Structure 1
Amino acid sequence: MDKVIVREASLKDLKDLLRFEQELIEAERPFDPTIRPSPLHYYDLEKLIKDKQIGIYVAEYKGKLISSGYGMARKARHYLDHEEYAYLGFMYTVPEYRGKGVNFMILDALKMWVNKQGLTELRLTVYDENIPAIKAYEKAGFQKHIVEMRLREK
């Protein structure tokens, strides 16, 4: 898409990001019966924006926010060949802009942030039944790695 601007998020973006968060929660509900009823929040978005150790990016088109994502360093398990990795989250694109490369632009900005942090391993989580998201991440070079399984006892 032409004229999409990807930039670091600021507090002036908070209202739109809070809306993105609620839309993301609603989009994920069909994949996860354990998500509590609303109102709820996945993130403390104001804290994420203010935290200089976290890279939170937005895509803007014609003055309107259309996508988001963040990266943060996390400690790796002690037996892995890296001490930290970049965890990517809050990956959201407004539905009418999906499939247009906007998520790739956010991922590119996050990859640059990851490189500045000196990290080489990137990870994210996606619901197994979210086939469009999985295909998009695979197209960006991600590979399935671990399947998390669950069982709810009565």
Structure 2
Amino acid sequence: MITREATEQDLKVLLEFEQGIVTAERPFNSTLIDGEIHYYDLLKLIQAEDAFVLVAEENAEIVASGYARIKTPDNNYSNFDRYAYLGFMYVKPEHRGKGVNKLILDGLLSWAKSKDISEVRLDVYSHNESAVKAYEKAGFDSLLTTMRMKI
């Protein structure tokens, strides 16, 4: 298993992964519209100077993805001026439970450290217990829970 930076040639597979993420998140979010959804501008992320899209390959097949993007806080009271936001975390179902997500996560954290970033954030549905446990195992702590109500 190897990791490498994603290229424009990977877009077809990455777009499939994006729909895999949407499918996995639908049970946790009743507000998602029906049909195909695009959360990311993957080409823009691949080309961006402030982002790093990483894929994992096994036998020349892309089996996982993730990205890190440098952002600035939306406030003036945080004790950091930049952070890495992680997203697009996806592992093909047949490769789950083999440590592939940790491989992607380690690569993204390494990239963030190389950019002198010390704060890393990501979003995960609180009811997605397996994802929450995986991120806690990797060292993440829950910070904020977003709540909603339909009226």
TM-score bracket, shorter-length normalisation = over 0.9
Alpha-carbon separation, structure 2, partners of 1:43 and 1:82: 25
> Residue 9 of structure 2 corresponds to which residue in structure 1?
12
CA deviation digits over 1:18-75, x for unaligned, max 9?
0000011011000001111112211111111111210110000111111100001111
> Residue 50 of structure 1 corresponds to which residue in structure 2?
47
Alpha-carbon separation, structure 1, partners of 2:122 and 2:129: 15
> Residue 108 of structure 2 corresponds to which residue in structure 1?
110
Are 1:41 and 2:14 matched, yes or no?
Answer: no
Among candidates 79, 88, 95, match of residue 81 of structure 1: 79
> Residue 128 of structure 1 corresponds to which residue in structure 2?
126
| Secondary structure of residue in 2 paired with 1:108 | helix
Q: Which runs of 5+ in 2 are unaligned?
A: none
CA deviation digits over 1:112-135, x for unaligned, max 9?
110121110001000011001011
| Secondary structure of residue in 2 paired with 1:112 | helix
CA-based RMSD: 0.8
Look up the equivalent residue of 2:106 and give its one-letter code.
D
Moved more, 144-153 or 123-132: 144-153
| Secondary structure of residue in 2 paired with 1:71 | strand
Q: Which runs of 5+ in 1 are unaligned?
A: none
Runs of 4+ in 1 over 6 A off after TM superposition: none
Alpha-carbon separation, structure 1, partners of 2:36 and 2:123: 23
Determine what percentage of the aligned residue pairs are the same residue.
47
Give the structure-2-normalised TM-score. 0.96
Look up the equivalent residue of 2:42 and give its one-letter code.
L
> Residue 149 of structure 1 corresponds to which residue in structure 2?
147
Q: Please state how far the C-alpha of 1:12 moved relative to its aligned partner.
A: 1.0
Aligned pair count reads: 150
Alpha-carbon separation, structure 2, partners of 1:40 and 1:136: 25
Look up the equivalent residue of 1:34 and give its one-letter code.
T
CA deviation digits over 1:120-152, x for unaligned, max 9?
000100001100101111111111111111112
Alpha-carbon separation, structure 1, partners of 2:49 and 2:80: 22
Alpha-carbon separation, structure 2, partners of 1:109 and 1:137: 15
Give the structure-1-normalised TM-score. 0.94
